[in-house]
Structure 1
Amino acid sequence: MSSVPHGYVDPNFPNPMGPNDATIIIYGYRPSLALAALAIALFFLALLAHLYLLLRHRTWYFSTMLVGTTMEVVGYVFRLLSSQQDPYSVPWFVVQYFFIVVAPVFFSAAIYTVVSVLINAYGREYAPLPPRAILGIFITCDVVATITQIAGAALIGVAYSNGEDPTTPNHILLAGLAFQVFTFAVFLVVLVWTLWRARRSSVNVSRTFLGALVVATLAVYLRTCFRLAETAQGLEHYLSTHEVFFGCLEFAPIVVSVYAFTYWHPGGWLGASLKGRTIGDADVLEDSGPGKLAP
Structure 2
Amino acid sequence: MARSSSGIPLTPSGCRSASFTISRLLRFCFIFTTLFSTVSAQRKQPLVVVDPFKDPKNDVLNPLRYIPSNVLTAIAVSLILIVALLQTLWIFKWGAKWMMAMTIGAYCFALGIGFRFGLHSNPHSDGIYIAEYLFVTLSPCAFIAADYVLLGRLARHLDADKHLLISSRRLTAVFITSDVVTFLTQAAGGGITTSRNNLNNQRIGPKIFLAGLAAQLASFAAFSAVFAVFLYRIYTKEKPLLRIDGHKAWYSRWTALAGALVLSCIGILIRSCFRTAELSQGFGGALARSEGLFYGLDTLPLFIATAIYIPFWPGRFIDDHQPLRSPGIENTVTGNRRGSSDSVSRTMVELGQVGQKPTVEKV
TM-score bracket for this pair, using the shorter chain length = 0.7 to 0.9
Distance 1:121 1:62, change over 3 A: same
Deviation per CA, 1:171-215: give whole Å up to 9, x if none: 111111111111111101110111111231635543332222101
How far does the alpha carbon of each residue in 1:67-91 deviate from its partner, in whole angstroms, 9 at most, with x for none? Answer: 111101211221221222x222122
Q: Structure 1 counterpart of 2:204, which letter?
A: T
Q: 1:230-265, CA deviations, whole angstroms, 9 ceiling, x for partnerless residues?
A: 011223221111111111011000111111011111
Contact 1:152 1:170 (8 Å CA) reproduced: yes
**Residue among 279, 291, 308 paired with 1:231:** 279
Map of 1:32 onto structure 2 = 69
| 2:258 counterpart letter in structure 1 | L
Where do 1:1-295 residues align within 5 Å? 10-11=53-54, 24-84=61-121, 86-122=122-158, 123-159=160-196, 162=197, 164=199, 166-199=202-235, 200=238, 202=241, 203-204=244-245, 205-268=253-316, 270-271=317-318, 276-277=322-323
User: Which stretch shows the higher mean deviation, 36-45 or 163-172?
Assistant: 163-172
What is the deviation of 1:10? 4.0
Question: Is the alpha carbon distance of 1:47 and 1:116 closer, same or farther for their aligned partners in structure 2, counting shifts above 3 Å?
Answer: same
Q: CA deviation at 1:65?
A: 2.2
Do the aligned partners of 2:80 and 2:110 also contact (CA within 8 Å) in 1? yes
Cα distance between partner residues in 2 of 1:238 and 1:80:
22
If you compute each CA radius of gyration, which structure gives the higher value, 1 or 2?
Answer: 2
Partner SS, residue 35 of structure 1: helix
TM-score scaled by length of structure 1: 0.80
| Pairwise CA distance, 1:23 | 6.1
Cα deviation, residue 153, structure 1: 2.2
CA displacement, residues 134-160 of structure 1 (integer Å, 9 cap, x when unaligned)? 21111111111122112222332333x
- What whole-Å deviation, never above 9, does each CA across 1:35-91 have from its counterpart, x for those lacking one? 22112111111111011110001211111122111101211221221222x222122
Cα distance in structure 2, aligned partners of 1:90 and 1:215: 35
Which SS does the other structure have where 2:124 is aligned? Answer: coil
- Structure 2 distance, partners of 1:212, 1:259, is 9
Alignment RMSD: 2.6
Distance 2:199 2:47 in 1: 15
Deviation at 1:9, TM superposition (A): 5.4
Paired with 1:121 and 1:143, the residues of 2 have a C-alpha distance of: 26
Q: Structure 1 unaligned runs (5+)?
A: 14-21, 279-295
Distance apart, 1:275 and its partner CA: 5.2
The 2-side partners of 1:116 and 1:109 are apart by 11
Counterpart of 1:88 in structure 2: which amino acid? H
Q: Deviations over 1:95-138 (max 9, x none)?
A: 11222122211111111111011111232111111122121111
Identity of aligned residues (%): 26
Query: 1 CA distance for matches of 2:323 and 2:111?
Result: 35
> Secondary structure, in 3 states, of the residue corresponding to 1:262?
coil
CA–CA distance in 2 between the matches of 1:248 and 1:77?
17
Q: CA deviation at 1:4?
A: 12
Report how many residues are paired. 261
In structure 2, the residue corresponding to 1:63 is in which secondary structure?
A: helix
Q: CA deviation at 1:163?
A: 8.2
